[in-house]
Chain A
Amino acid sequence: SQKIEQNSEALNIQEGKTATLTCNYTNYSPAYLQWYRQDPGRGPVFLLLIRENEKEKRKERLKVTFDTTLKQSLFHITASQPADSATYLCALVRGSQGNLIFGKGTKLSVKP
């Protein structure tokens, strides 16, 4: 069956360091992959989308890579800040209808 795995349930880093989160998938050939941020008590918020023909995408301090051979996406936050503390979710489209399925998320804590 199709599966998305986000390897770390939690990641703790020091302010100013780069956070790297991993998303692996099996039995998919997705056309694109998305990353969302979720704060407690709120719905996920879209951050970045990367297509299968793009190796890398950047937005301010965020960088996403997409390796379709390894079936993996890496999500980086450079110069991390305590305000970056949240749960980060990766999502893939499944099937021909376009519905998105999500990984379990990685809870990032950035300590001052």
Chain B
Amino acid sequence: GAGVSQSPRYKVAKRGQDVALRCDPISGHVSLFWYQQALGQGPEFLTYFQNEAQLDKSGLPSDRFFAERPEGSVSTLKIQRTQQEDSAVYLCASSLTGGASGANVLTFGAGSRLTVL
């Protein structure tokens, strides 16, 4: 597609529910990133894929967070047993190139706003 698409745009979950957030990157983009953005803060890195390989998941806050990109295109971020502190905007971004040798210019989606009650 023309841009990075994220769904749902808004999700309200009760504490303890599981949620799944979807990201459709730009076709052909090698790299895919997930970020968490709290109100008034910058995006905090969660995890990074190059094609289907998850190269860095050091930013995932706990083992309740899980991300996958099984065919190297669409990615899903799953949060199990949601807590109130998980409330944030979850941003997905993709990049044509991969690795530190290239300049990873990211194209972001509009984000999925998660509210945990």
**Interface residues, chain A, with chain B CB atoms under 8 Å away:** 6, 9, 31-32, 34, 36, 41-46, 49, 51, 89, 91, 93-105
Contacts and interface: CB of A to CB of B under 8 A. Distances in A.
| Interface residues of B, dominant DSSP | loop
Interface residues of B, number: 31
B110 interface: yes
Contacts of B25: none
Contact of B33 (A99, A103, A104): A99
B1 interface: no
Contacts of B105: 34, 46, 49
A42 B100 contact: no
B91 A97 contact: no
A98 B100 contact: yes
A97 B109 contact: no
A31 B100 contact: yes
Nearest to A99: B48
A98 B42 contact: no
Contacts of B8: none
Given A43-B111, A98-B99, A99-B56, A104 B42 contact: yes
16 contacts: A31-B100, A42-B110, A43-B4, A44-B93, A44-B106, A44-B108, A95-B56, A97-B50, A98-B98, A98-B101, A98-B102, A99-B45, A100-B45, A101-B45, A102-B43, A104-B41
Given A95-B56, A98-B98, A43 B91 contact: yes
B55 interface: yes
Contacts of B93: 43-44
B110 A97 contact: no
| Interface residues of A, dominant DSSP | strand
Nearest to A91: B106
Nearest to B111: A43
A25 B100 CA distance: 18
A71 to B, nearest CB: 18
B104 A100 contact: yes
B50 A100 contact: no
B98 to A, nearest CB: 6
